[in-house]
Amino acid sequence: MRSFRVARWALAGAIALSAAAGAARAARVTGVVVDAAGKPVELATVAAPAYRQGTSTDEHGRFTLDLPAGQTQLVVSEMGYEARRLNIVVAEGTPELRVTLREQPVELSEVTVAASSFGRTGKSEGATLRRMDIYTTPGGAADLFQSLRALPGINAPTEGAALYVRGGKPEETLIRLDGGSIGHPYHYERASGGLFSTLDAYMIKSAFFSSGGFSAKYGGVLSGVLDVETQDPFNLKTVSLSANVVGSGLSTSWALIPDRLSLIASIRHSYPAVLFKLYGSATEYEEAPTSDDAAGRLLYRYSKSGKLSFTWLDSGDHTALQANVLNFKGLYSGRARNRFGALQFSDALLGRVALRGQASLQRYHTAWSFASFGGDEVERVAQGNLDAVWPVNSRHELSFGLNLGRTEHENLGTVGADSTDYGSGAPTRTLNTHPSVDHPGVYLEDKLRVWGPFYATLGGRFDYASLPGVWTADPRAAIAWRVDEHQTVRVATGRYHQLANVRYLDPVYGNPDLSPMAADHVIAGYEWLSEFGNVRIEAYRKDYHGLVTNDSTSYYANRGTGYARGLDVFTRGTWRSLSGWVSYGYLDARRKELDDPHEVPTAWGVKHSVTLVSQCQLTSAWQVGARYGFSTGRPWTPVVDRTWDPARAIWRPVFGEHNSAPMPDYHRLDVRATRLFSLPRGAGMPASSVCAAYVEAINVLAIRNPLEYVYNSDYSRRYTRDSYFSRRFLVAGVALTW
């Protein structure tokens, strides 16, 4: 019995030892890791995650790993090189491995292939303009649109905030907020074409701006894109108060549940009456204009990779002023309100595909009156987008998505039937229009590394317009050649479509058969970029087809054409505590649209524009900066003669060739000094975070820049109406943050 027990133990031991020996039949894997030139790569990581084994290479690039016999996968990696995965069979006598690591090409996401995206790009901020740039650009008044005007590609004919991109009208630029299209992002739009943004700079994380040749992701626009992302911190708890002579604001980032739920919000009120009392105004206001806006974003992180957010914006303004149109002066009163809400989610599908969905609603309402005319306009835009980015491998990154959209426009009112007669008893026209259009679209784009330093994006989109019921196809392509780590050459081309203004599509007062307008872009540019500076030169040409013209039988037709061609130069540099940039734009733009008899210079086509911005960090607390802007005068249509109308007993103008005369050149110099500081703990308050006090002198040289010409009653004399900033203003303000 005892011998049986011993035998059993012996058997068990033998089985156990043989099993252990089998499992532990480890074989030594040795090898060398070299780079493409055959030089050993020191400190490279060689790991077999299946066995939780890893090591690093020595100074000769050699490594040794003891692994169980059989098939396994080795992962070889080192910073700056493309990681390699090798399937190997581990066995006694396995020959030495030789692993060649290739230098990591610049990641696709780090390469800017698209043309016309000036400024900083890349993973870190992914933006052309960051919040810091908006706050510190002199003359920018900490306003997104005023700061953007200092970049190339925007040939601004006035001081307004509206974006005139490379000869295109403001409505030719798509403005998105957290993925949703937001029309009317300006205050005082009807009175001035928009003066300031309705979005507080505090809310902004980044703003990507492109003046042409942009991705197939963006549809429904002819000229440019401004894609604004709002902040998304999860654990901040800050409150900011700001005030200056024009208004005040309160903003906050508040972690409601750390890592889970966060709120970012701001409210602002502006009331420039104090400023006008101090310095006077170029405009006769019946009531000082006021504006209010409130914006917020509620963020919820529901998983490690998934986020849900709701962004809302509610803004309004009111103004009443004495307005001049030709030879008529009358009271203009306007009130506008814009409400926008966007629900957005982002997540990673299967850990590889970045998905982003968004649904937004916008309602813009404006009511106005001028002399005996007036109206009410309501615009509703509903939109849904689903975007996906799939980094297929290190050579391809696919982007694809779906857009759904519906735009409705209501216009009720009484307008002048004769554009030269605004007096009492002038003929009128009653409007009562309710056009609406659905415009879904799909896109697909591949960002790829073609070969070596050549990168490209190839793609396109299809869009449908329910009025007039047509599909459009927009192929787009861009290629970038990274000459070296500092220099890139880019060429881009593509077709772009945009719906005609919805009001022109009304079945009764418009033409529902109007096709979408089209533009073809060709852009070629060179960029040099280093940590010391950036030089960018870009030439472009944009050809328009199917622009809307007046038509005697169908009101409107697609018979307009036009072009914009030009050159943008941008150079930016940093030397010690000095930094700054120079931006120059040359533009030659002509169009035939509405009542133009043939292609004429565009009313917003500024031939030469230059912006110089310099900033100096005097100490870590003091920063001074200046911005000088110059542009040649925009074209306008002169009154060359007059005729007496006995029936109406008024003088009527006789216009010259459309946009045949230039307005005077425009100059403006702004200076800004900013001091950063912190408040100590006290009075029950904690110590503050970084606070700022600033003084900004706007139009230091007090140059009277004319905005437009107006006339006396018989058109025998001409006067200029000065721009809003035609006086020297001194604006002081403070922003306190806890």
- Nearer CB in complex with other proteins: 133/445: 133
Residue from the set 687, 701, 702, 732 that interacts with other proteins by CB under 8 A: 687
672 binds other proteins (CB under 8 A): no
682 binds other proteins (CB under 8 A): no
Number of residues that bind other proteins (CB under 8 A): 64
HEC assignment per residue over 597-609:
CCCEECCCCCCEE
306 binds other proteins (CB under 8 A): no
12 binds other proteins (CB under 8 A): yes
Q: Binding string to other proteins for residues 445 to 484, with x set by CB under 8 A, is what?
A: ----------------------------------------
Minimum distance from residue 550 beta carbon to other proteins (Å):
48
Lookup result for tokens 């554009």: 419
Residue from the set 40, 126, 233, 330 that interacts with other proteins by CB under 8 A: 233
E strand or H helix at 56, and its extent?
Answer: strand 53-56
Minimum distance from residue 261 beta carbon to other proteins (Å):
14
What CA–CA distance (Å, rounded) separates 666 from 730?
20
What CA–CA distance (Å, rounded) separates 344 from 355?
11
E strand or H helix at 20, and its extent?
Answer: helix 2-23
Name 181's Cβ contacts closer than 8 Å, sequence gap at least 6: 174, 175, 220, 360, 362, 381, 383, 405
Report whether 690 contacts 132 (CB < 8 A).
no
Tell me which residues in 516-555 interact with other proteins (CB under 8 A): 531
What CA–CA distance (Å, rounded) separates 381 from 364?
9
20 binds other proteins (CB under 8 A): yes
Name the segment binding other proteins (CB under 8 A); options: 127-135, 159-167, 709-717, 726-734: 127-135
Burial pattern 558-590, b for ≥16 Cβ within 10 A else e, equals bebbbbbbbebbbbbeeeeeebbbbbbbbbebb
What CA–CA distance (Å, rounded) separates 472 from 495?
10
647 binds other proteins (CB under 8 A): no
Name the segment binding other proteins (CB under 8 A); options: 252-260, 397-405, 436-444, 653-661: 252-260
Minimum distance from residue 119 beta carbon to other proteins (Å):
10
Minimum distance from residue 258 beta carbon to other proteins (Å):
6
- Nearer CB in complex with other proteins: 125/463: 125
Tell me which residues in 588-607 interact with other proteins (CB under 8 A): none
Lookup result for tokens 């649209």: 593
203: alpha, beta or left? (left if phi > 0; alpha if psi -120 to 50): alpha
What CA–CA distance (Å, rounded) separates 541 from 520?
8
Minimum distance from residue 310 beta carbon to other proteins (Å):
21
What CA–CA distance (Å, rounded) separates 490 from 395?
18
Residue from the set 69, 106, 255, 386 that interacts with other proteins by CB under 8 A: 255
For β-strands 454-465 and 186-187, DSSP reports them as unpaired
19 binds other proteins (CB under 8 A): yes
Minimum distance from residue 281 beta carbon to other proteins (Å):
33
Instruction: For residue 228, give the nearest of 340, 113, 378 by alpha carbon.
Output: 340
Name the segment binding other proteins (CB under 8 A); options: 51-59, 175-183, 373-381, 510-518: 51-59
Minimum distance from residue 46 beta carbon to other proteins (Å):
7
- Nearer CB in complex with other proteins: 403/579: 579
- As given in the structure block, the two tokens for residue 503 are 């009001």
Three-state DSSP at 79 gives coil
7 binds other proteins (CB under 8 A): no
Minimum distance from residue 42 beta carbon to other proteins (Å):
8
List residues binding other proteins (CB under 8 A).
Answer: 5, 8-9, 12, 15-17, 19-21, 23-24, 26, 43-49, 51-56, 66-68, 75, 77, 79-80, 120, 124-125, 130-133, 135, 205, 231, 233, 235-238, 253, 255, 258-259, 304, 531, 620-621, 676-678, 680, 687-690
